[in-house]
Structure 1
Amino acid sequence: MMRTDGHLLADRQAATADRQTRTPTRQTDAAARSDALAALFDPTTFRHLESLGVGPGWRCWEVGASGTSVVSWLAKKVGPTGKVLATAAATDLSWATPVARPPVEVRLHDVGAEEPPGDGYDLVHARLPLVHVPDRERALRCMVKALRPGGRLLVEDADPALQHLACPDEHGPEQQLANRLRKGLLRLLVSRGDDLSHGRRLPRQLRAAGLRRVGADAYFPLASPACAALESATIRQFRDELVTAGFGTGQDIDRHLANLASGTMDLASAPMISAWGRRP
């Protein structure tokens, strides 16, 4: 059904009226997204970090950290003689409280705009921050510059343009609604400047940055409970923007969230590309 100006105005007014109610939940939704991302992608990340040889005494920089799982894993691997620096551009670092003790240090840093926070790192790892960084080439140069000779870089980023559907098996109205909202969300992200096809370019960009032994692979999660958890947290987080932009009504979103809660939806997440290389 065509959305009229009256419908869109009513949706905008409803979104404005309940924005104050929803604002306190944004941190909860962000934490839920972080937990779901960890459940989906930690096994792949840890497999790659293991293959790069992370061990006692290593100096590691975790770029764009937003949760504790990878930082904690690295801290256990490097031990008391190593170091793990976790940085994030966001001003809220409350998530880091449980891990902010030696060998872990946490600080604010914008990888796309600032010089690296030191050099001589054995490992630099970034998972999913670059899609939101305007100057991605500068961010990659920053990470490479921080490595010691022979140091390893592992960059992992989503590529929603490779698979843009929430439900690849679109067999009913519930799946059609999910896909309509997913497409609207991706259009929102593009309008903010996010690069939805960045992941596939990582191997070429790592070689252009001067790294050697470059390799890459992709992981495409499907029908995992964590996919539904990630979708639910993401939709709640972007609810107001989706309604304001006319990509769905509040009723649409409530129905989609209820469908997700039913446990009968086979959700997919965008493929994550993992690319790695060594500084000569």
Structure 2
Amino acid sequence: MQERPLPESEYSDYGEEVFAFECPSRLHRLKALAAVCDPATRADLSRWGLRPRARCLEIGAGAGTVALWLAERSSGGEVTATDTDIRFMAGLQHPALRVLRHDVRTEDFPAGTFDLIVARSVLCHVGERDAVLARMVSWLRPGGRIYVEDPSFFPAASSADPVVRRLGGAVVATLARAIGSDVEAWARSFPAPLLGRGLVRVGVRVHCSTLTSGNAAGAAWRHSVADLVPVMDRLGILPEADAVAALAHLERPEFVDVAHAMIGMWGVLPADPGTERGHLVDQTG
């Protein structure tokens, strides 16, 4: 089938046709992704801790696992968990947790509101990601930290497995053409998007998970690919029969590979810019 790119005007939103909120497997996909990504995200956030009465924001909170974890570690503060669809956070309860329907592309918060802002697997799906990132930085209080984490599929591109290479390329192309995502170059450029924004202690971390037929990373990838099969076929990127055969390949007991990396970047808005001039790169890893 011949690939047919979509003009920008035909882009749909994340959660509509692509990774639809109505899809019965959506919650299973979110839980699998949380099982894979939460340990590395929590390890990063744990290194810095939270000041007493800290105000935190998680954008695109999904099932709310990171937001709830932050709330449980809050000392007299508040954690605001947002998403364009909040149905998967309906059962979350904690006195420090506030759940809010919010679209980061079009809705603001007051400047200087938050001590910590977290956005995982969000900006890669936002076409105006640089402008949104600049607005997010403006929501930080002096001394506050922003933490952004997104996927890049560069490991799949170098896989020794031709099925993984083809499937990874199909995922990258489908997301780009259907909703304007960049799951290839955007996160691979970290931490450059935070440099030059007045932040200090800027850093980056890369985490790659092994995929097998029986672990959470493999399940997350299979759920994600399965959700994309109709769109891949409609756009002429990967015929449905080929995608179904590739999914069967991923379910083989002997299957093992690395499909994508999760790359995190962070930076701090200095309380006094003059006191930390020149301290741009976080050397702590």
Tell me whether 213-222 or 191-200 shows the greater mean CA deviation.
Answer: 191-200
Which ranges of 4 or more aligned residues in structure 1 deviate by more than 4 Å?
A: 23-26
Task: State how far apart, in whole Å, the 2-side matches of 1:60 and 1:135 are.
Answer: 23
Paired residue type of 2:180 = G
Task: Report the equivalent of 1:213.
Answer: 201
1:198-221 CA-partner distances (Å, limit 9, x unpaired): 113332221222111111111111
The CA deviation at 1:25 is 9.1
Structure with max Cα Rg: 1
Task: State how far apart, in whole Å, the 2-side matches of 1:263 and 1:119 are.
Answer: 51
1:51 maps to 2:47: yes
Task: Report the equivalent of 2:181.
Answer: 194
Matches within 5 A, 1:191-270: 191=177, 192-195=179-182, 196-224=184-212, 225-270=215-260
Tell me whether 145-154 or 237-246 shows the greater mean CA deviation.
Answer: 237-246
Task: State how far apart, in whole Å, the 2-side matches of 1:25 and 1:260 are.
Answer: 24
Runs of 5+ in structure 1 lacking a partner?
Answer: 5-22, 171-175
Q: In 2, are the aligned partners of 1:125 and 1:153 still within 8 Å (CA)?
A: yes
Task: Report the equivalent of 1:120.
Answer: 113
The CA deviation at 1:56 is 4.5
Task: State how far apart, in whole Å, the 1-side matches of 2:65 and 2:267 are.
Answer: 23
Task: State how far apart, in whole Å, the 2-side matches of 1:233 and 1:223 are.
Answer: 13
Equivalent of 1:169 in 155, 160, 165: 160
Provide the TM-score with structure 1 as the length reference: 0.81
Q: In 1, are the aligned partners of 2:174 and 2:237 still within 8 Å (CA)?
A: no
Q: In 2, are the aligned partners of 1:55 and 1:77 still within 8 Å (CA)?
A: no
Runs of 5+ in structure 2 lacking a partner?
Answer: 3-18, 271-285
User: In the superposition, relative to structure 1, how do residues 245 and 24 fare at CA in structure 2: closer, same or farther (>3 Å)?
Assistant: closer
Task: State how far apart, in whole Å, the 1-side matches of 2:140 and 2:22 are.
Answer: 35
User: Aligned pair count?
Assistant: 251
Task: State how far apart, in whole Å, the 1-side matches of 2:266 and 2:92 are.
Answer: 26
1:179-215 CA-partner distances (Å, limit 9, x unpaired): 3232222111222321221113332221222111111
More helix by share: 1
The alignment yields a C-alpha RMSD, in angstroms, of 2.5
1:63 maps to 2:53: no
Q: In 1, are the aligned partners of 2:112 and 2:142 still within 8 Å (CA)?
A: no
Matches within 5 A, 1:22-33: 27-33=23-29
